[in-house]
Chains A and B, each alone.
Chain A
Amino acid sequence: MILTVAGKELKAMFSSPMGWVILALLQFIFGTFFLVGIDQYFQTMSGMIRPEQRVGVTEFVGHNVFSMASFIMLFAVPLLSMRLISEERKNQTLPFLFSAPLSLTEIVLGKFFGLVSFLTVMIAIIGVMISSLNIWAELDFGYVVANLIGLWLLVASFSALGIFVSSLTQQPIIAAIITFVALFGLLILDYFFASDPNSTLNYLSLLRHFEPFSRGLIDTRDLAYFALFILTFLTFTVRRLDADRLRG
C-alpha cells in the first residue's frame, strides 16, 4: 500500500515538467562543480609542495560537489515537497486517500518515500559521477559512501519537514517558502550561536550533523539525530491529517 502511494507520487513527479526540469538542472549544476573540482585539483595540487598540504582527489572533488549539493537541495526539496499534501487539499483529492482502506501513516509514509526515492535517483547519479573518477585515480570509497549517506539523510530530513509544512496549507507556494525558511534557519542555526559552542540550540542545527558525514565520519549520534528528525516531522504530519478527520 505504501508502495502504491509512493508510486503515485513518483508518477506525478515525472508527469509534470517540474520533476524533469529540477532533475536536469541539478545534474547540470553538480556536473559543473564536479568538472571545476577536477580542473582546480591539478592547479592547486601543483602548487602544494609539502606532503601534508596535499589532499586526495576524492576529498577535494567530493567536498566541492557534496557541499554544493547540500546547499542546492535546500532550494530543490521545498520545490518538490510543496505540492505533496497542499495540492491534494486544494484540489480536494484528500478524501480519495482518506476513504481508501489506508491508515494515515501509510499515506504519509507513501508520500515521503515517493519524494525520497525521487531524490535518491539524484543522489545516486552524483555517486555514479564521482565513482567514475576511479577509472583514472584511486578513490577513497569510504569517504564517498559516508558523504552519500549524509546527503541522503539530509535530503530525507528536508523532505520530512517539507511534507509537514505542505500539510499545513492549501497553497503549494506558501508551503515551499515556509519550508525553505525553516530549513535555512535550521541549517544556519549554529552561525547564530557560534560564540557559545555548547548551546543546546546548536545541537539542533542540521548542518552541524551533516558536517561529520562530509568529513567521512559516520557517527551514530548524527544518524540518530536525522532519524529522529524525520520521525518527528512525519508524526506531526500524521497528527495534522488526523486533525482534519477530527475537526473537519
Chain B
Amino acid sequence: MDNVTVEADALNRVYGSNAVVRDVNFSLRKGEVLGFLGPNGAGKSTTMKMLTGNLAPTSGSVKICGIDIIEQPKEAKALIGYLPETPPLYKELTVDEMLTLSARLHGVARGSVKKAVESAKERCGLTEMSKRLIDNLSKGYQQRVGIAQAIIHNPMVVILDEPTVGLDPIQIRDIRALIKELGGEHSVILSTHILPEVEMVCDHVQIIHKGQLVFNGSIDVLKQQRHGNRLLLGLTNAPDTEELLKIDGVVSVEPAANGLLRLRYAEGAAPAERIVQSAVNNNWGLYQINPDQTSLEEVFMQLTYQEAAAN
C-alpha cells in the first residue's frame, strides 16, 4: 500500500523507570485526519515528538511515506509539517519574514517561496497580518501563524499538537474548518483533549491513556457507542413497566434522572412512533421523548476506566 503516510511501529519511550509511551502502533493513510485523544500527561505530545523526529524513541520505528525518520531524518522531515504545543515562532520577525524563513528551511524552491507564503497566509486567514510583528499578534493569530508555518511546504503529513487550545470560539471554528480542509490533500494528526472537536474533524480516533493505545479505530465506531439503542421518555402519568415492555421492540425500562424513563430497544427496531401512539391512546401525558446519547466523555471515561481496571 503506497498511500500509507505514517507508520508507527511498537513505539516506546522511557524516562528513567517511567514509561511514558508504551507500544504504540498505528498507520495513517493519505487524506485521513487522525485525532489523538487522551487526558493530560497521557503521552500525546511525547508520541508526536517522536513522530516528528524531535525525540528519539527508546525502541520502535516511525516511517513517513516509507522513509524511516531515524535513519533518513532529512528526507522524512521534509514530508512533515509540525506545530508543537507552543507555537515555535520568532517573535522579533513579522509574519511574512517568519513564513519565508519556514519555507526556505523546509526546502521550498527559491522561485516559489513567495507563492507558498501567500497561499499559506490565505489558507490561515493571515493576509491582513503580513507586516505585523508576531510579538504583537493575539494568541489566536499566533496559533494561525504556527499552523501556516507547518503547512507552508505542502507536506504529506501535518502534525498539530493541540491546535485549538487557548482560542476563542470563532477562531476554534475557523481552525477546525481549516483542519478539515487540510485533511483533503494531506494526512493530518492532531491531538486534543476536547472531545467534540475530534468528532467534528477526525475520521480516525486514537485514545491514549498512560502511554498506551486503548482505542484505535474509525470515528463511526465511537459514534455508535455513543448513540446506543436508547430513548429517554418523560411521562406525567407513567404506567407500569410491564405496560411499556408490551410495546413492540422495547427490551428494558429503567428509571433515569429527573423522573424520566430510559428505554432500551432492540437493534434495528424503531419504537418511537408506537410509544407516542400508546402514550396518546392511554393518556400517559407524554411531555418528552428523545434519543438518549451517551456523551463522548462517557465513552472516553469508559475506555480509560476499563484500561485502569484491566491493570
A-to-B contact residues, CB < 8 Å: 1, 4-5, 8, 11-12, 15-16, 91-103, 245-246, 248
A11-B106 in contact (CB<8A): no
Which of A8, A12, A246 has most chain B Cβ within 10 Å? A8
Those 3 A-B pairs whose CB atoms lie nearest each other, nearest first: A96-B88, A101-B78, A100-B105
Determine how close the nearest CB of chain A comes to the CB of B309; give it in whole angstroms.
30
Supposing A95-B82, A248-B55 touch, asked if A100 and B106 sit within 8 A by C-beta, the answer is: yes
B106-A101 in contact (CB<8A): yes
Determine how close the nearest CB of chain A comes to the CB of B227; give it in whole angstroms.
39
B-to-A contact residues, CB < 8 Å: 13, 15, 46, 49, 52-56, 73-75, 77-78, 80, 82, 84, 86, 88-93, 97, 101-102, 104-107, 149
Determine how close the nearest CB of chain A comes to the CB of B59; give it in whole angstroms.
13
Please indicate the chain B residues that have their CB under 8 angstroms from the CB of A99 in the complex: 52-54, 77, 80, 82, 84
Supposing A11-B97, A101-B75, A102-B74 touch, asked if A96 and B92 sit within 8 A by C-beta, the answer is: no
Determine how close the nearest CB of chain A comes to the CB of B69; give it in whole angstroms.
10
Q: Which one of A92, A93, A98 contacts B53 once the chains associate, using CB atoms below 8 Å?
A: A98
How many A-B contacts are there with CB distance less than 8 Å?
A: 75
A97-B84 Cα distance, complex, nearest whole Å? 12
A12-B105 in contact (CB<8A): no
Please, which residue of chain A has its CB at the minimum distance from the CB of B15?
A248
A245-B46 Cα distance, complex, nearest whole Å? 11
B101-A4 in contact (CB<8A): yes
Which of B52, B56, B102, B149 has most chain A Cβ within 10 Å? B56
A93-B90 in contact (CB<8A): yes
A4-B91 Cα distance, complex, nearest whole Å? 18
A92-B102 Cα distance, complex, nearest whole Å? 16
A77-B91 Cα distance, complex, nearest whole Å? 23
12 additional contacts (CB under 8 A) given A15-B92, A101-B107 = A5-B105, A12-B93, A95-B82, A96-B149, A100-B105, A101-B73, A101-B75, A101-B106, A102-B77, A102-B105, A248-B15, A248-B55
Q: Identify whether the interface residues of A are mostly helix, strand, loop, or mixed.
A: helix
A92-B104 in contact (CB<8A): no
Please indicate the chain A residues that have their CB under 8 angstroms from the CB of B77 in the complex: 99-102
A93-B13 Cα distance, complex, nearest whole Å? 22
Q: Which one of B46, B54, B93 contacts A98 once the chains associate, using CB atoms below 8 Å?
A: B54
Determine how close the nearest CB of chain A comes to the CB of B189; give it in whole angstroms.
13
A248-B55 Cα distance, complex, nearest whole Å? 6
Q: Which one of B54, B102, B106 contacts A95 once the chains associate, using CB atoms below 8 Å?
A: B54
Determine how close the nearest CB of chain A comes to the CB of B56; give it in whole angstroms.
5
A199-B82 Cα distance, complex, nearest whole Å? 52
Determine how close the nearest CB of chain A comes to the CB of B106; give it in whole angstroms.
6
Could you name 18 residue pairs across A and B whose Cβ atoms are closer than 8 Å? A4-B104, A11-B93, A12-B90, A12-B92, A91-B86, A93-B88, A95-B49, A98-B54, A99-B54, A99-B82, A100-B106, A101-B74, A101-B105, A101-B107, A103-B73, A245-B53, A245-B56, A248-B55
Q: Which one of B13, B49, B55, B105 contacts A4 once the chains associate, using CB atoms below 8 Å?
A: B105
Please indicate the chain A residues that have their CB under 8 angstroms from the CB of B78 in the complex: 101
Please indicate the chain B residues that have their CB under 8 angstroms from the CB of A16 in the complex: 92
Determine how close the nearest CB of chain B comes to the CB of A105; give it in whole angstroms.
11
Determine how close the nearest CB of chain B comes to the CB of A206; give it in whole angstroms.
32
A93-B82 Cα distance, complex, nearest whole Å? 12
B101-A8 in contact (CB<8A): yes
Please indicate the chain A residues that have their CB under 8 angstroms from the CB of B92 in the complex: 12, 15-16
Determine how close the nearest CB of chain A comes to the CB of B112; give it in whole angstroms.
15
Which of A15, A94, A99, A100 has most chain B Cβ within 10 Å? A99
Q: Which one of B56, B86, B106 contacts A246 once the chains associate, using CB atoms below 8 Å?
A: B56
A16-B107 Cα distance, complex, nearest whole Å? 27
Determine how close the nearest CB of chain B comes to the CB of A101; give it in whole angstroms.
4
Determine how close the nearest CB of chain A comes to the CB of B131; give it in whole angstroms.
14
Determine how close the nearest CB of chain A comes to the CB of B83; give it in whole angstroms.
9
A12-B101 Cα distance, complex, nearest whole Å? 12
Please indicate the chain A residues that have their CB under 8 angstroms from the CB of B89 in the complex: 93, 96
